[in-house]
Structure 1
Amino acid sequence: MVVESLTKAKVIQNYLGDMYEVLPSYGHVRDLAGRSRSVRPDDDFSMVWEVPASAWTHLKSIKVALSGVENLILASDPDREGEAIAWHIIEMLQQQDALNEDITVSRVVFHEITESSIKSALQAPRELDSNLVNAYLARRALDYLIGFSISPLLWRKLPGCQSAGRVQSAALGLICDREMEVEQFEPKEYWTVGVDFHVSQSHPLKNKTSIFSLLSHLDSRKLNQLSISSIIEAEAIKERISSSQFKVLAVKMGKVTKNPPMPYITSTLQQDSASKLNFSTTYTMKLAQKLYEGIKLSDKEATGLITYMRTDGLNISNEAANDIHSFVKERYGNKFASKNLRKYFKKVKNAQEAHEAIRPTNIRRLPSSLNGILDDDALKLYTLIWARTMACQMESLLIDTVQVDIGSMGGDLVLRSTGSKVGFPGYQAVYKDKEAGVNGNDDKVEDVTQACFDVLRKLKVEDQLSSGEVELRQHHTRPPPRYSEGSLVKKLEELGIGRPSTYASIMKVLQDRNYMTVKNRVLFPEFRGRMVSIFLSHHFAEVADYSFTADMENEIHNMLGESVKH
């Protein structure tokens, strides 16, 4: 059996015993020759490959191991790159006459490195998937042709600069375009008007906490962000408020249901790891690779702790989903488990959905059981994956809301208070995420304290209120935020640019070539990067256009899908 890494080979060898010899290929064994005309469109797109010196050693080990065997099992990673590695190995072995007719060659894939998964995969061997191989070849050829078309001219015009590549150029363009937006942004002044209200002395709620409200309507007109643009306008409104009487116009109570987050795919794991753990995309994937390939647990054999980490599929096997659902009941109680198993489907552009989502191989392996076994950062990432996986089979978060409109007696001024309170924590008993969008923030209404929430719920229409301090706040509009690694990955995914396996390498290439720098988790384009981006957009507009890469991915994806379907 041939796998990609030495760590993986050692773990699988322990599972399979002496009947098998498990060898690593150490990734790709060959690549396109680094010279012109390595891809020849006029010769049916034939390709010229070369084998690095180190790869010859690995190929020789595989060739020697084939002596006297009955089966060659290619078990590289379960994605397009893994399929391509298997294809390259077969091609090289055939060229060296190392595959005689007595050797059966098969391909197996597994999404987790556990004994049961490996042995189950061996029961379902298949042939090499020519569709995946052709998809790899098409992308590799196009990347090469674009690079070797652009690079010579780029070297002459901008000495020292290299083409960032098809996908990296799109990412660089996004970063540079955002920087231009920031530089050209002109802030605008605006004001908000807030009032502390108190109930009348005759009201049962007298002496309770004050109620803070923000002006939402003026002279029967709903205010937007820039409606009050100067201190003069704000002061005039303040005078009107100070001389007015107020009463409760409406009390609206409701409930907001927030469903649990979907299980992790590569991009969302990278985004969450960046925002919650401050890990870069490259570091996140390094840790995830370690968790996937296997960790030695005390005196036991090494085992993989998570499923394959390069995936855009949200599917979780029925067996795993049932186990997660049962464990939620055991650990948190029946009311926290979803009424039925939750199924998730991918909504991101060009998703292949060939793999399972990222999850622990054994949900009952608690993060606390890995203290002292995993290093701190690996444990943090495992904990994040474990919590998110548990959450996806839990009940929704329920939020109680209240909205109170307070108006002047003449009806020309309306202010609004809103509040929220967790009614049932649901999945947030294990996984905390942002709770944006439940407090009416589209209306620029600030949330209130818990004590104020209780007061708001007890108010009645027509209750008299007296205005206290009027607070005028000056604000200025802000430019769009620069990208972080997480938000850039999210944008690339939304546009359908790149694949799960490419997100980390995009960041690395752009930094290694000094096209961008990362400061406090924010991406800034360097001068060199901006020059390359401008050059590409002016002279190679079609290639630099974001839709070029996305449309190409979409066309190949559709062709691959049709081929598989038929």
Structure 2
Amino acid sequence: MSKNLIVVESPAKAKTMSKYLGKEFVALASYGHVRDLVPKQGAIDTENAFAMKYALIEKNKKHVDAIEKAVKNAEALYLATDPDREGEAISWHLYEILKERGVLDSKPVHRVEFYEITKNAIQQAIREPRELSQNLINAQQARRALDYLVGFNLSPLLWKKVRRGLSAGRVQSPALRLIVEREEEIERFVPREYWTIESDLAARGKDFAARLTHFQGEKLEQFTIGEAGHADRVEAELNRAAQGRLKVATVEKKQRRRNPAPPFTTSTLQQEASRKLGFSAQRTMRTAQSLYEGVDIGGEVVGLISYMRTDSVNLANEAVIEIRDVIKDRFGVDNLPDEPQLYKSKSKNAQEAHEAIRPTSAARTPESIKKHLKPEQYKLYELIWKRTVACQMVPALLDTVSVDLEAGAGNVFRATGSHIVKPGFMAVYQEGTDEAPEDEDEKMLPPLEAGDTVDLKQIRKEQHFTEPPPRYTEASLVKALEAYGIGRPSTYATIIDTLEKRGYVTLDKRRFTPTDVGRVVNKFLSEHFHNYVDYEFTARMEDDLDAISRGEKEWRPLLKDFWVEFKGQVSEKETVERPGVEMLEENCPKCGKKLAKRLGRNGYFIGCTGYPDCDYTRNVDEAAGASNEPEILEGRMCPKCGSQLIVKRGRYGKFIGCSGYPKCRHMEPLEKPEDTGVQCPECKQATMLKRKSRYGKIFYSCARYPDCKYAVWNLPLAEPCPKCGWPILTIKTTKRRGTEKVCPQKECGFSEPHDEATPN
């Protein structure tokens, strides 16, 4: 018993810890959570002080057993799971399991926490252990209990009232509400016309433009010129008054400072990685986790960034000193402020004792370790490094000029220009925007003074229409969730992933659109459980959880207050009518009963209220009275049995099928499959076609099907596998690993990163 046991969450982190702690320690991984509420109703005894029934997570049993075995031979146990509420709970659950198994005896148990996986940080944490924090544990238990009580009571109600397989959540449902309400706002939006007037000018050999701000003494607002006729009259009057020349009335010169953005928090990292790198929140957090846990950079495993779940913008003093040295060496002393830049979090509950996300060593530049990193790791590390260094640089200085030019009495055009005098931090990094970025190029005006005249080349009128608010991107949704206090930044990736997996939203061109199912679920919850999808309620609950973690509130009274009202509301709503059904003033062409618009698994359809006696259905976009009778394809015969081919309609839309069904089950897609141009590697007689399964899933199969049944789920690439020589590779994208080239031969296992855009 000469070694200490230290337990972390992941094997990658355990490997890094072993390198730093030497022979005195054995490092093992719990592989995440080790215990959770039993997966059934009754896991929380609401009648007995909310006692919670936990069970070992089966897939992690072998890892817990290994930890138990190692504890028996250890002098002391160090619990080094992540430094947050969830990490505290994992340590506590592991402690409780080991205590129940009787292997701790009188052995010392220490809780250690660190915010970067570096040798100094870990050794200091070992020297300064603490006890498990019951406040943090209680806050996490309260969060888990709330999520369980909401999910296990609302989800079955959705199964009854909408359809099976749906779910509701304390944080997920308000996030869905945001997306649905934005879509409804877009649908209600009525575009409004307005016109602007600009002049193209020239002075001292330089062309520039100016916009009309005042006409006949009246200041122009957005809708002052609201239709084409008015714009024509204004244009004619300006041309008459100007007579080909404009006079400079005033010239105003200013110098403006632009300050750098603060270092990254979890939320701002997710937003910027989405804007600049196109990363999903899940991909950002997965990649950041790998950088935090440690990467082999030439024989040395190093944690490259500090802990990536944080809402603080603080930087450690020693980190700031190193960053300032890097700025002085790489960018010159002129770009180094006299004093370090200090930032304050906008979140009232930010853990200011924590740090922002930063490189563990600013001296470790992105280019110096690029060859050791995967492409996505390098991109994210470079983003974090640049933002961190830039936040400690001097502000950018810009000279701005504003010139008012007169075209006759009371008619004023304004021209503005700016140029960067000193780039400062902008030489390293500029923060992105959710929508179209502003033009950062320098826009210089010619040197002008009051009283000068300039040549008028032309006056232009331009028509515009107001636009609806944009749909949420991942970046803008994360920003909205944080602004409303919905959930915590560490949960945003999971929230977004759940909404997509449940089929509540779709992501098209990187923007969220609610599905029919998502709309119905949101409508049901908003009408019948408004309190629990209310943004303020969700934010208040997060504040209460934070108060529990600080020891300012008790967790059981909080659960009791919530449960009494919530339980009554769930019971009351058992009898409400099923949502998503709209009766139509139209009779079934088959049996004469009323038709209704209903929500099915794949969206809305129109069906007979006489179901199951009458099976009439049609798509929502089909004309009234459309028949269920199949369409005959003249001259097209089944290649299998020779019977007539017909167009049939199934639950996934129209397709070509054999009229001899069910004796002959031949089917073809209605649309001609897309040819990939990649030769089938098995028969080598035809190319691979892009097809859609009866369940709507894309796959790729040989054009000679059914004679050759070779098929793959991922896009084939005409490139042989460098490992086994199979004639093709495929392009596979997963949230965990990103986009890769992989060998379709399972026994081979070859894969490598693929950076190019994946074809459709």
Displacement of 1:256 in angstroms is: 1.3
1:161/1:478 CA distance change after superposition, 3 Å: farther
1:131-162 per-residue CA deviation (whole Å, 9 max, x = no partner) reads: 11111111111111111221121110011242
Displacement of 1:163 in angstroms is: 2.2
| Counterpart in the other structure of 1:180 | 184
Question: Which of 53, 57, 75 is 2:80 aligned to?
Answer: 75
1:34-72 per-residue CA deviation (whole Å, 9 max, x = no partner) reads: 211212232111111121222222221111111142211
Displacement of 1:354 in angstroms is: 4.5
| Counterpart in the other structure of 1:202 | none
| Counterpart in the other structure of 2:589 | none
Query: How high is the sequence identity, in percent, across the aligned residues?
Result: 44
| Counterpart in the other structure of 1:426 | 424
RMSD value over aligned CA atoms?
2.0
1:450-500 per-residue CA deviation (whole Å, 9 max, x = no partner) reads: 4xx241xx2111223343311111111111010000110011111111112
Question: Which of 466, 489, 492 is 2:481 aligned to?
Answer: 492
- Give 1 or 2 for the bigger CA radius of gyration: 2
Q: Amino acid of the residue matched to residue 264 of structure 1?
A: F
Where in structure 1 do 4 or more consecutive aligned residues deviate above 4 Å? 434-437, 446-449
In 1, Cα distance between equivalents of 2:433 and 2:336 = 20
1:87/1:533 CA distance change after superposition, 3 Å: same
Instruction: Please say which of residues 23-32 and 370-379 is displaced more in the overlay.
Output: 370-379
Question: Which of 222, 228, 233 is 1:225 aligned to?
Answer: 222
| Counterpart in the other structure of 1:86 | 91
Task: Check the 8 A contact 2:135/2:548 in 1, yes or no.
Answer: no
In 1, Cα distance between equivalents of 2:45 and 2:213 = 65
In 2, Cα distance between equivalents of 1:560 and 1:487 = 29
1:506-533 per-residue CA deviation (whole Å, 9 max, x = no partner) reads: 1111111111111121111111111111
Instruction: Describe the SS at the equivalent of 1:502.
Output: helix
Contiguous gaps of at least 5 residues in structure 1: 200-204
| Counterpart in the other structure of 1:470 | 459
Question: Which of 40, 43, 54 is 2:45 aligned to?
Answer: 40
Displacement of 1:96 in angstroms is: 1.4
Task: Check the 8 A contact 1:350/1:496 in 2, yes or no.
Answer: no
Looking at secondary structure, tell me which structure has more helix per residue: 1
- Does residue 385 (structure 1) correspond to residue 384 (structure 2)? The answer is yes
| Counterpart in the other structure of 1:371 | 370
1:433-456 per-residue CA deviation (whole Å, 9 max, x = no partner) reads: 35999x9x9xxxx99974xx241x
| Counterpart in the other structure of 1:260 | 260
| Counterpart in the other structure of 1:236 | 233
| Counterpart in the other structure of 2:492 | 503
In 1, Cα distance between equivalents of 2:432 and 2:255 = 17
Q: Amino acid of the residue matched to residue 532 of structure 2?
A: V
Instruction: Describe the SS at the equivalent of 2:121.
Output: helix
Question: Which of 15, 22, 35 is 1:10 aligned to?
Answer: 15
Task: Check the 8 A contact 2:202/2:455 in 1, yes or no.
Answer: yes
Contiguous gaps of at least 5 residues in structure 2: 1-5, 554-760
1:370-424 per-residue CA deviation (whole Å, 9 max, x = no partner) reads: 222111111011111110111011000111100011123322x111110110111
In 1, Cα distance between equivalents of 2:346 and 2:370 = 36
Q: Amino acid of the residue matched to residue 235 of structure 1?
A: D
1:3-51 per-residue CA deviation (whole Å, 9 max, x = no partner) reads: 0001111110121122111110011101111211212232111111121
- Does residue 169 (structure 1) correspond to residue 173 (structure 2)? The answer is yes
Question: Which of 493, 505, 511 is 1:516 aligned to?
Answer: 505
Instruction: Describe the SS at the equivalent of 1:282.
Output: helix
- Does residue 527 (structure 1) correspond to residue 530 (structure 2)? The answer is no
In 1, Cα distance between equivalents of 2:485 and 2:504 = 22
Instruction: Describe the SS at the equivalent of 1:431.
Output: coil
| Counterpart in the other structure of 2:357 | 358
Q: Amino acid of the residue matched to residue 58 of structure 1?
A: H
Displacement of 1:369 in angstroms is: 1.3
Instruction: Describe the SS at the equivalent of 1:121.
Output: helix
Instruction: Describe the SS at the equivalent of 1:534.
Output: helix
Q: Amino acid of the residue matched to residue 276 of structure 1?
A: K
Looking at secondary structure, tell me which structure has more strand per residue: 2
Question: Which of 28, 32, 57 is 1:52 aligned to?
Answer: 57
Instruction: Please say which of residues 34-43 and 553-562 is displaced more in the overlay.
Output: 553-562
Task: Check the 8 A contact 2:327/2:336 in 1, yes or no.
Answer: yes
- Does residue 396 (structure 1) correspond to residue 395 (structure 2)? The answer is yes
Task: Check the 8 A contact 2:33/2:57 in 1, yes or no.
Answer: no
Task: Check the 8 A contact 2:182/2:469 in 1, yes or no.
Answer: yes
| Counterpart in the other structure of 1:415 | 413
Q: Amino acid of the residue matched to residue 500 of structure 1?
A: P
| Counterpart in the other structure of 1:152 | 156
| Counterpart in the other structure of 2:118 | 114
Instruction: Describe the SS at the equivalent of 2:206.
Output: coil
In 2, Cα distance between equivalents of 1:393 and 1:156 = 56
Task: Check the 8 A contact 1:349/1:494 in 2, yes or no.
Answer: no
In 2, Cα distance between equivalents of 1:137 and 1:112 = 26
Normalising by structure 1, report the TM-score. 0.93
Task: Check the 8 A contact 2:136/2:548 in 1, yes or no.
Answer: no
Task: Check the 8 A contact 1:161/1:532 in 2, yes or no.
Answer: no
In 1, Cα distance between equivalents of 2:141 and 2:352 = 20
In 2, Cα distance between equivalents of 1:114 and 1:48 = 37
In 2, Cα distance between equivalents of 1:454 and 1:154 = 62
- Does residue 214 (structure 1) correspond to residue 211 (structure 2)? The answer is yes
Q: Amino acid of the residue matched to residue 214 of structure 2?
A: H
Equivalent residues, number: 544
Q: Amino acid of the residue matched to residue 30 of structure 2?
A: S
| Counterpart in the other structure of 2:101 | 96
- Does residue 294 (structure 1) correspond to residue 298 (structure 2)? The answer is no
Task: Check the 8 A contact 1:164/1:509 in 2, yes or no.
Answer: no
In 1, Cα distance between equivalents of 2:506 and 2:74 = 51
Normalising by structure 2, report the TM-score. 0.69
Instruction: Describe the SS at the equivalent of 1:284.
Output: helix
Q: Amino acid of the residue matched to residue 212 of structure 2?
A: L
Instruction: Describe the SS at the equivalent of 2:364.
Output: coil
In 1, Cα distance between equivalents of 2:248 and 2:388 = 45
Instruction: Describe the SS at the equivalent of 2:171.
Output: helix
Q: Amino acid of the residue matched to residue 251 of structure 1?
A: V
Task: Check the 8 A contact 2:485/2:539 in 1, yes or no.
Answer: yes
Instruction: Please say which of residues 40-49 and 389-398 is displaced more in the overlay.
Output: 40-49
1:303-348 per-residue CA deviation (whole Å, 9 max, x = no partner) reads: 1111111111111100011110111001110011122111222113
Task: Check the 8 A contact 2:406/2:412 in 1, yes or no.
Answer: yes
In 1, Cα distance between equivalents of 2:451 and 2:345 = 49
In 2, Cα distance between equivalents of 1:234 and 1:433 = 38
Question: Which of 525, 529, 538 is 2:527 aligned to?
Answer: 538
Displacement of 1:224 in angstroms is: 2.0
